[in-house]
Structure 1
């Protein structure tokens, strides 16, 4: 149970740092005005997946947010999408081989593929991957790698470990 809580804290820090890196790249890095416009046009309602999820939830219960693009519900969903995988990471890191591979980089990569490239388009919270410019995918990948690395680092500090132990094979 304590590993889940440590993972939640690590995931919250991971998503906070991930956001800073993503915004830095968006504003000063890979994207041009053209690719920003292409990304905005591809997004359902011009919103990121977390705000689309928040809007879907609000619509389901008949609530109208003050601003669909920037609102506390969307931010709550966004942080939940960082905290829950952090909890999962905390629960599995010491128990499942290779979850902590590459100091969390493998986990970050897996989240990028599963969340950004597969689940979000299937759920309708993002457009199909082909509608986004390559820069959006590159930013997403880098941001998720940062998330995985930071989540692992914070979890390691909270746990007093330097790296996950490798599970030993039981003799047959």
Structure 2
């Protein structure tokens, strides 16, 4: 599946739109599995670390729900009710995983360096860029230095799982597609 040359090449899977669609599906599955791992780890974390994580979050909400609530305030002049959990926040959370999944699906075979480590580099990149940089820069989370180390470790593991699952699901979808032809 993966080429070791690291250069750009054609996918051979049926076009970029098809690869993006498969990547979006794989990203959605990746988010679902990532959430289960993240929630399991959160529930088994030291209670003090859990409390500190919640206390520093804007409005005690995860970044997707902060984003959904900001959008609701801009659109209708009011926060969502309840602010978290809310279907709009869950939809934003999935969109945040589906969008990069579509991009990963388009690039993985065309620029094989993207698939390095069977999705682990992809998951690590999302963790660093999204969780550790963009969330804080956009006000969707607190400054990363305010979170306990357990929150960072949990986020890293969850994103590595997301990357690996997204990659594995893409492999399965490509195999299924080639068998249908």
Asked if Structure 1 and Structure 2 have the same fold, meaning a TM-score greater than 0.5 normalized by the shorter chain, the answer is yes
What are the residue-to-residue correspondences of 1:150-161 with 2, within 5 Å?
150-160=165-175
Question: Is 1:106 aligned to 2:133, yes or no?
Answer: no
Provide, for residues 76-134 of structure 1, a one-character-per-residue CA deviation record: whole Å limited to 9, x for no partner.
00000110010010010011131001000000000000000000000000000000000
Partners in 2 of 1:139 and 1:75 — Cα distance?
19
Question: Is 1:34 aligned to 2:65, yes or no?
Answer: no
Q: Aligned match of 2:112 in 68, 73, 97?
A: 97
> Which stretch shows the higher mean deviation, 114-123 or 89-98?
89-98
Structure 2: gaps (5+ residues):
1-16, 177-181
Please tell me whether the aligned partners of residues 70 and 79 of structure 2 are also in contact (alpha carbons under 8 angstroms): no
Partners in 2 of 1:97 and 1:104 — Cα distance?
11
- Structure 1 segments of 4+ aligned residues over 3 angstroms from their partners: none
Shift of 1:57: 0.2
CA RMSD in angstroms comes to 1.0
Q: Aligned match of 2:153 in 138, 144, 147?
A: 138
Partners in 2 of 1:64 and 1:21 — Cα distance?
29
TM-score normalised according to structure 2 size: 0.86
Partners in 2 of 1:97 and 1:2 — Cα distance?
17
Shift of 1:64: 3.5
Partners in 1 of 2:173 and 2:56 — Cα distance?
39
Q: Aligned match of 2:70 in 39, 43, 56?
A: 56
TM-score normalised according to structure 1 size: 0.90
Partners in 2 of 1:32 and 1:86 — Cα distance?
32
Structure 1: gaps (5+ residues):
162-172
What is residue 13 of structure 2 aligned with on the other side? none
Please tell me whether the aligned partners of residues 33 and 162 of structure 2 are also in contact (alpha carbons under 8 angstroms): yes
What is residue 164 of structure 1 aligned with on the other side? none
